[in-house]
Amino acid sequence: MKILVTGGAGFIGSAVIRHIIQNTEHQVLNVDKLTYAGNLESLISVADSQRYQFSQTDICDRAALEHLFQTFKPDAVMHLAAESHVDRSISGPFAFIETNIIGTYQLLEAARNYWLNLPKELKNKFRFHHISTDEVYGDLEGTADLFTETTSYSPSSPYSASKASSDHLVRAWHRTYGLPVVVTNCSNNYGPYHFPEKLIPLMILNALQGKPLPIYGNGQQIRDWLFVEDHARALYKVVTEGAVGETYNIGGHNEKANIEVVHAICTLLEELAPNKPEGVQQYKELITYVTDRPGHDVRYAIDASKIKKELGWEPAESFESGLRKTVEWYLSNQEWVEHIQSGEYLSWLEKQYQG
């Protein structure tokens, strides 16, 4: 197969590409605008493969997209390109509207025009796989409730609203035009190569530098944590075996309160990085509670029974094993961290968590 992956220089996209190149014979075209969170260093392990190509292209550029479709001639699209950080969407929502909604529209139209002109056999095999988030569902009230594929949408932030919009567009292009789509909604990812504005890498790196570990509100917000390499396996399963028109929820079966996650990171660092920054007795003393963000959802949890039953996927990593691998990776890859911590990232981080 030839698979066109948008957002392939991002956290999840790069994991997907590494998985495909390292474990299959398929060809991949990575289409990425290379915004602040896109990092080609995350793909060094596969960059020399003859089955890998990269194009620095904005998915809002229809003409550029149509050229890529005509020259690469993909059998499938895996659409991961998105602005994805909730805090950034609150302080600057326009980029999320532009990329997540307008960009998805332009990609759908480029894919539809390409698909319509394929020979019948290739037309039947073509897939448009849209990768989304569990945040489109809003939050859960009961402690036993789970998001299913039929849970009503109730997004809380500009980010989740823009992703919900893109989900609706994809399903509308399937129903109206017949475009063969599959949709996945995943829980919180973590693992190697994660951009350090997100909770887990931020806590690891701040702790190693003796900086405060900022926790929103009381830290009791619950998330289901999914190791990114497990997610990459699931996405490959869906794009190659998923049924057209179906939605699959992908979760890690690891519900943890944010404060639990941070304590677990501190405990691991006590073991793996015992030489602490000057003046730090224990990593956990760096925990600092900050004002909660507006519209902060309390609990997300995924029912991933459908993908297990229909496609045979389930996560290989527990939260404990995945978190240990993650902490060990950051300790062993300080050069990657230093390169990605650009001036733009640092200035935004300082503004976001000041005080």
Give per-residue burial for 52-76: e unless 16+ CB within 10 Å, then b. Answer: bbbbebbbbeeebbbebbeebebbb
Distance separating alpha carbons of residues 304 and 300, to the nearest angstrom: 13
**What is the DSSP secondary-structure string of 302-338?**
B--HHHHHHH----S--HHHHHHHHHHHHHH-HHHHH
Residues with a catalytic annotation lie at 134-135, 159
In angstroms, what is the C-alpha Rg of the chain?
20
Three-state DSSP class for residue 190: strand
Contact indicator for 85, 157 with CB cutoff of 8 Å: no
Pairing of β 287-290 and β 127-133: unpaired
- Cβ atoms within 10 Å, residue 89: 22
Q: Which residues are CB-neighbours of 244 under 8 A, at least 6 positions away?
A: 127, 174, 180, 181, 182
φ, ψ for residue 54, nearest 5 deg: -130, 140
Alpha-helix runs per DSSP H in 7-143: 11-23, 62-72, 86-91, 94-96, 104-116, 120-125
* Cα dist from 208 to 190, 198, 332, 338, 347, whole Å: 18, 16, 12, 13, 19
